[in-house]
């Protein structure tokens, strides 16, 4: 009888452990489905690059086409540049593709101002900016082209906002200046030529 009781007690002892594990397991299962939860999301994200755009009112015609010029001759014309960028930027002027024979570019002096009013047809109403209005001041074409060769070394600084269509007018004056030259040196300039491309560039800021 004693042996039988020991066996029964032993069996009962080991039967309790699995029931306890089952009870604990059931509690964990219930707890995992009893939590509160909430989510939020922000979908359809995308990125589109902005644009910087410039145009001028030259209608494909060179601003200057001066022929048969003579010493002391001068002329002044304007050109209007328009920015339709949708981001803020900075517009500068540089000179490119210079050509010259007989060093005529060293005797053509340029002054360039930036401001408001006037356009390709007339400079009437032009007003230079109060600050930084003169961006090339009585420089020879040779010197101006050497100093303003690219955007990094360009003349002027026109900050655009990119919020609206914005314009800036540039007033360009040139003079055929032979001051200090002898008559023979002046005569050597006959039929000489010079050319330049005015380039405005807008870079986002």
Where do the domains of the chain lie, and which CATH numbers do they carry?
Answer: 54-204 (2.60.40)
User: Distance between CA 4 and CA 83 in Å, rounded?
Assistant: 104
Q: Say what the pLDDT of residue 40 is.
A: 63
**pLDDT of 112 over the 90 cut:** yes
**pLDDT of 15 over the 70 cut:** no
DSSP annotation of 117? S
**pLDDT of 141 over the 50 cut:** yes
C-beta of residue 161 within 8 angstroms of C-beta of residue 99? no
DSSP annotation of 190? T
Q: Say what the pLDDT of residue 32 is.
A: 53
pLDDT (mean) for 4-29? 46
**pLDDT of 174 over the 70 cut:** yes
**pLDDT of 106 over the 80 cut:** yes
**pLDDT of 8 over the 50 cut:** no
Q: How far is CA 22 from CA 12, 17, 29, 35, 154, in A?
A: 16, 9, 11, 22, 82
C-beta of residue 188 within 8 angstroms of C-beta of residue 71? no
Helix (H) or strand (E) holding 197: strand 194-204
pLDDT (mean) for 7-14? 45
Q: Say what the pLDDT of residue 48 is.
A: 60
pLDDT (mean) for 32-38? 65
Q: Say what the pLDDT of residue 184 is.
A: 94
**pLDDT of 22 over the 50 cut:** no
Q: Say what the pLDDT of residue 102 is.
A: 92
């Amino acid at each position: 009888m004693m042996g039988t009781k020991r066996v029964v007690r032993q069996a009962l002892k080991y039967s309790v452990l699995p029931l306890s594990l089952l009870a604990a397991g059931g509690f964990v299962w219930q707890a995992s489905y009893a939590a509160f939860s909430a989510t939020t999301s922000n979908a359809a994200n995308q990125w589109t690059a902005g644009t910087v755009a410039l145009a001028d009112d030259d209608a494909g015609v060179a601003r200057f086409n001066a022929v048969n010029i003579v010493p002391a001759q001068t002329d002044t014309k304007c050109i209007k540049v328009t920015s339709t960028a949708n981001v803020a930027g900075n517009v500068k002027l540089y000179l490119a593709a210079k050509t010259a024979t007989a060093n005529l570019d060293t005797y053509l002096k340029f002054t360039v101002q930036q401001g408001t009013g006037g356009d390709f047809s007339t400079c009437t109403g032009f007003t230079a900016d109060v600050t930084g209005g003169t961006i090339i001041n009585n420089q020879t074409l040779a010197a101006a082209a050497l100093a303003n060769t690219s955007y990094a070394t360009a003349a002027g600084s026109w900050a655009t906002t990119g919020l609206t269509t914005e314009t800036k007018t540039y007033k360009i004056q040139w003079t055929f200046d032979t001051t200090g030259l002898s008559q023979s040196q002046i005569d050597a300039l006959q039929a000489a030529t010079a050319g330049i491309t005015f380039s405005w560039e807008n870079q986002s800021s």
